[in-house]
Amino acid sequence: MRKVAISNQKGGVGKTTTAINLSSWLHRKGFRVLAVDLDHQANLTTGLGINPAELKMSVWDLLTSQAEFEEVAIDRAGLHVIPSNIKLSSADLVLGGEVGRDYLLKQALQHADYDYIIIDCPPSLGLMTINAFTFVNELVIPVQSEFYALQGLGSLLQAVELTRQRLNPVLEIAGVLCTLFDGRKNLHKEAVEFIRNSFSGHVFETVIRDNIALAEAPSHGQSIFEYAPNSHGAEDYGRFGEEFILLEEGIHVEEKAGEAD
């Protein structure tokens, strides 16, 4: 089982878009997939066609042991989803002082049996993100194809390192994913080059282009493969999926590239 968190504390970099479309692609390939929404904004939940306001149970009830996994998980045509809603916004405040507060997700999902568990993290390094880091084996870090994309990544990497030391020694960075790429802008090409140089060997070959269909699909509650299967967005996330499944658990993009040499 590969457990993957999609994380970057910077907002609007394509975390949720990546979580929705990677989960959907894996599901369409026939894998057993669980997508978990750990963000109180509930964009993954909404983007997969689930109305957060109508939920009886959400990830909050699961984390606080008020509900069983089976009561919270929603079967969306075979893709299983742990939805979120606004209740989760008080998590840091309410759960911050709890014993074992970093292990709540790990405990809640201890019996979950899937090929892939994909977790959409909120844009912060708060309690929910640390819960994700404690539970998963791998991290995918989406960054916008801009020069300032790497600003703030130092604190993310520091959080990863501390989590490794204190909570989860097997945590690895699967790779950095460049998103919102506009090939007409030289600045974007240079930025991707810069990101590749800065994170040598840890950046996915696939670059996700800026594509309007990717922005439209969530309002229809659909993945890009349902909404616009012939779009650039579907092509890019399909290519990313292929690249992603080739990575074995814990193996860096760099090591894989080294093997190919």
Which residues of this protein are in contact with ligand ATP, per CB under 6 A?
A: 11-17, 39, 41, 43, 123, 179-180, 208, 210-211, 214-215, 218
Contact 15, 6 (CB under 8 A): yes
CB of 54 to Mg ion, least distance (A): 20
Please report which residue ranges of 89-231 form alpha helices under DSSP H: 91-95, 104-108, 127-135, 153-166, 186-198, 212-216, 224-227
Among 159, 143, 242, 152, residue whose Cα is nearest residue 202:
143
By DSSP bridging, strand 116-120 and strand 33-37 are parallel
Identify which of residues 67 and 207 has a Cβ nearer to ligand ATP in the complex: 207
Which entry of ligand ATP, Mg ion, none binds 208, CB below 5 to 8 A by partner kind?
A: ligand ATP
By DSSP bridging, strand 79-82 and strand 74-76 are antiparallel
CB of 126 to Mg ion, least distance (A): 14
Among 147, 171, 177, 143, residue whose Cα is nearest residue 159:
171
Contact 247, 257 (CB under 8 A): no
Identify which of residues 67 and 82 has a Cβ nearer to Mg ion in the complex: 82
CB of 236 to ligand ATP, least distance (A): 7
Backbone dihedral angles phi then psi of residue 64, each to the nearest 5 degrees = -100, 15
Which entry of ligand ATP, Mg ion, none binds 179, CB below 5 to 8 A by partner kind?
A: ligand ATP
Contact 154, 41 (CB under 8 A): no
Identify which of residues 15 and 27 has a Cβ nearer to Mg ion in the complex: 15
CB of 247 to ligand ATP, least distance (A): 21
CB of 13 to Mg ion, least distance (A): 9
- SS3 for 131? helix
Where along the sequence are the contacts to Mg ion (CB under 5 A)? 15-16, 43
CB of 12 to ligand ATP, least distance (A): 4
Which entry of ligand ATP, Mg ion, none binds 12, CB below 5 to 8 A by partner kind?
A: ligand ATP
Identify which of residues 168 and 231 has a Cβ nearer to ligand ATP in the complex: 231
CB of 104 to ligand ATP, least distance (A): 20
**Rounded Cα–Cα distance for residues 256 and 261 (Å):** 9
Identify which of residues 43 and 46 has a Cβ nearer to Mg ion in the complex: 43
Identify which of residues 205 and 249 has a Cβ nearer to ligand ATP in the complex: 205
Q: Which secondary structure element, helix H or strand E, spans residue 171, and what is its range?
A: none
Identify which of residues 41 and 45 has a Cβ nearer to ligand ATP in the complex: 41
Which entry of ligand ATP, Mg ion, none binds 146, CB below 5 to 8 A by partner kind?
A: none
Which entry of Mg ion, ligand ATP, none binds 229, CB below 5 to 8 A by partner kind?
A: none
Quote the tokens at residue 197.
């140089």
Taking the alpha carbons at both ends of the chain, their separation in whole angstroms is: 28
